[in-house]
Amino acid sequence: MTAQLPAPSVAGTEEPPSAVLEVTDLQVHYGLRRRRRQALHGVSLSVAPGETVGVIGETGSGKSTFARAVLGLVRASAGRIVIGGHDVSAYGNRQWRGLRRRGVVQYVFQDPLRSLDPDLTIGESLAEPLLVHGVPRDEAAERARAFLPRVRLSDELLDRLPGELSGGQRQRVAVARALVTEPRLVILDEPVSALDSANRVQVLEILRELRATGVALVFISHDLGSVAGIADRIAVLHQGELVEVGPARDVITRPQHLYTRLLVSSAPTLRTASADREERKALRALLHA
Ligand SMILES: Nc1ncnc2c1ncn2[C@@H]1O[C@H](COP(=O)(O)OP(=O)(O)OP(=O)(O)O)[C@@H](O)[C@H]1O
């Protein structure tokens, strides 16, 4: 199913700006022949400059597949991906690597060790994307240092390796690394799921603040509660299909799809009337009927 999206609008502009990410009818399959399974069934989603879109769904709904496809880490079997106005759908591995290396689309994964080179100090890790952009070494080091307060880290950490940091500190470094070049688009795949609640709250606050830089964020999470306070719009994935997309407030207060109702009613941190166990059971039965 392809969800119809409202045209993105940004206050103060007459013409809607062109999307930083435009995904149309994206299909992804895994496996070959008899083992071939479809993970995404024609997903369409567009993200406007500066917009934060939350993508939520339960385990196995296709969230990471969506993230990986948009980063060129898994090949789409059909559909179109346009990033910053460039159609990248037919890119080969080398072109995708170049795109990621140039930081056209940045990313933060659940496990920060996947986004950070274990052999680079924090200072080197933060300076590296700037060096790739041609920023002189001294300036890159200074900009890396200057970015640290924005993710609430002390510059005492600059000479440490990722393995010498706590999980929460590492994730804040991964966020800093993704944002230090001021990219237009960052994909965050479960960025707070591995953190304890204090670190989760802090990283969510940091992301909320960093939105002011004008970056567009695609925030992927199984936890509607994490996404609710930060997303402008929420897209709901269910079994590889986008079943609902809308302004965050509407999706939370007036969920249209049965599956979204189930997610909302299962999120204890949301200030909505959460359903009891019996109600959720009934919703599940309806959903699978
Ligand atoms: N490399 C792979 N090979 C085969 N099947 C895969 C592969 N990766 C994912 N899948 C399947 O694709 C579907 C979507 O998986 P995906 O990881 O995108 O879901 P998800 O919503 O991110 O789940 P989770 O929240 O558990 O990470 C699942 O059925 C999964 O088993």
Q: Give the closest residue (by CA) to ligand 1 atom 30.
A: 60
What's the rounded Cα separation, in Å, for the pair 275 and 289?
Answer: 20
281 pLDDT band (50/70/90 cuts)?
confident
Q: Give the closest residue (by CA) to ligand 1 atom 7.
A: 30
Ligand 1: nearest atom to the Cα of 74: 1
Q: How far is the CA of 202 from the centre of ligand 1 (A)?
A: 28
Ligand 1, residues at Cβ distance < 6 Å: 30-31, 39, 57, 59-65, 222
**Residue 1: strand pairing partners:** none
> How do residues 157-208 score in pLDDT, each as one tens digit?
999 999 999 999 999 999 999 999 999 999 999 999 989 988 899 999 999 9
Ligand 1: nearest atom to the Cα of 68: 18
Q: How far is the CA of 20 from the centre of ligand 1 (A)?
A: 25
pLDDT score of 112: 82
Q: How far is the CA of 190 from the centre of ligand 1 (A)?
A: 14
Q: Which residue has the higher pLDDT, 287 or 136?
A: 136
What is the pTM assigned to this prediction? Answer: 0.88
Q: Give the closest residue (by CA) to ligand 1 atom 17.
A: 64
Burial class (CB in 10 A: 0-12, 13-18, 19+), 207: buried
pLDDT score of 13: 43
Q: Give the closest residue (by CA) to ligand 1 atom 9.
A: 65
pLDDT at 236 over 90: yes
Q: How far is the CA of 61 from the centre of ligand 1 (A)?
A: 7
Percent of the chain whose pLDDT exceeds 90 = 69
pLDDT score of 1: 42
Q: Give the closest residue (by CA) to ligand 1 atom 28.
A: 60
Whether residue 141 contacts residue 129, with contact meaning beta carbons closer than 8 Å, is answered with no
Ligand 1: nearest atom to the Cα of 237: 21
Q: How far is the CA of 66 from the centre of ligand 1 (A)?
A: 10
272 pLDDT band (50/70/90 cuts)?
low
**Residue 38: strand pairing partners:** 29
Q: What is the mean pLDDT of residues 129-133?
A: 92
pLDDT at 269 over 70: no
275 pLDDT band (50/70/90 cuts)?
low
Percent of the chain whose pLDDT exceeds 70 = 89
75 pLDDT band (50/70/90 cuts)?
very high
Q: How far is the CA of 62 from the centre of ligand 1 (A)?
A: 6
Considering Cα of 107, then 39, then 245, then 197, what sign does the dihedral take?
negative
| DSSP of 192-231 | TTTS-HHHHHHHHHHHHHHGGGT-EEEEEES-HHHHHTT-
Q: What is the mean pLDDT of residues 82-95?
A: 93
Q: Give the closest residue (by CA) to ligand 1 atom 26.
A: 59
Q: How far is the CA of 60 from the centre of ligand 1 (A)?
A: 5
pLDDT at 11 over 50: no
ipTM of the modeled complex:
0.96
What's the rounded Cα separation, in Å, for the pair 103 and 184?
Answer: 9
12 pLDDT band (50/70/90 cuts)?
very low
